[in-house]
């Protein structure tokens, strides 16, 4: 029986999701235990389709891939678990839930919304548009307008 290995995938965006899906599908020997660490409180979703939220789609409608991926025994989804530190010497990642060891690591953290240094960027009604929480905040703010 092959020795089990652990891979820590940091970042629950499209790239992190695709890596988890591909490794799980291709690991015929069943050697890899895959841990996906997501800062956001949900499984990976399609950011490109965020605008469809305003047309009535729910956050669940935006989820990527098959939900059954997260039920596979070799895959562990850690939502709301941003990686706070990586120790390459001990091969450990630390999250708000504790420490996890790894044999390999994939860093797929993507990007963050850039806020240009312009006047008014910090005023009420000025938003970034990157996450489901961002579009929900925009919607809530707009509903409160007269």
Q: Is residue 24 located within the same domain as residue 63?
A: yes
CATH code for the domain in which residue 59 is found: 3.50.50.60
CA dihedral sign, ordered 137, 139, 143, 146: positive
Q: Is residue 89 located within the same domain as residue 131?
A: no
Instruction: Give the helix/strand (H/E) hosting 139.
Output: helix 132-143
Q: Is residue 73 located within the same domain as residue 60?
A: yes
**Per-residue pLDDT tens over the stretch 83-110:** 999 999 999 999 999 999 999 999 999 8
Between the alpha carbon of residue 140 and those of residues 72, 90, 126, 146, the distances in Å are 36, 44, 13, 13
* 34: containing domain: 5-110
pLDDT of 146 reads: 59
| Of the ranges 2-6, 22-26, 64-68, the best mean pLDDT one | 22-26
For residue 45, give the DSSP letter. B
Q: Is residue 102 located within the same domain as residue 137?
A: no
Angle at 108 between CA 16 and CA 81, to 5 degrees: 75
Mean of the per-residue pLDDT values of the chain: 94
Instruction: Give the helix/strand (H/E) hosting 140.
Output: helix 132-143
pLDDT at 114 over 90: no
Q: Is residue 106 located within the same domain as residue 118?
A: no
Q: Is residue 92 located within the same domain as residue 122?
A: no
For the chain, what is the domain count? 2
């Amino acid at each position: 029986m092959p020795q089990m290995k652990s891979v820590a995938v940091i970042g629950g965006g499209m790239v992190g999701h695709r890596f988890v899906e591909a490794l799980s599908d291709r690991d015929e020997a069943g050697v890899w235990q895959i841990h996906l660490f997501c800062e956001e409180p949900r499984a990976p979703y399609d950011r490109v389709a965020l605008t469809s939220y305003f047309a009535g789609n729910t956050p669940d409608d935006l989820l990527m891939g098959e939900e059954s991926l997260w039920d596979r025994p070799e895959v562990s989804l850690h939502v709301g678990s941003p990686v706070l530190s990586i120790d390459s010497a001990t091969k450990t990642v630390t999250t708000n839930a504790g420490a996890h060891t790894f044999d390999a690591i994939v860093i797929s953290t993507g990007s963050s919304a850039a806020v240009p240094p312009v006047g008014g960027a910090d005023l009420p009604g000025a938003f970034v548009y990157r996450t489901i929480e961002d579009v929900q905040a925009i919607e809530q703010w707009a509903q409160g307008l007269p």
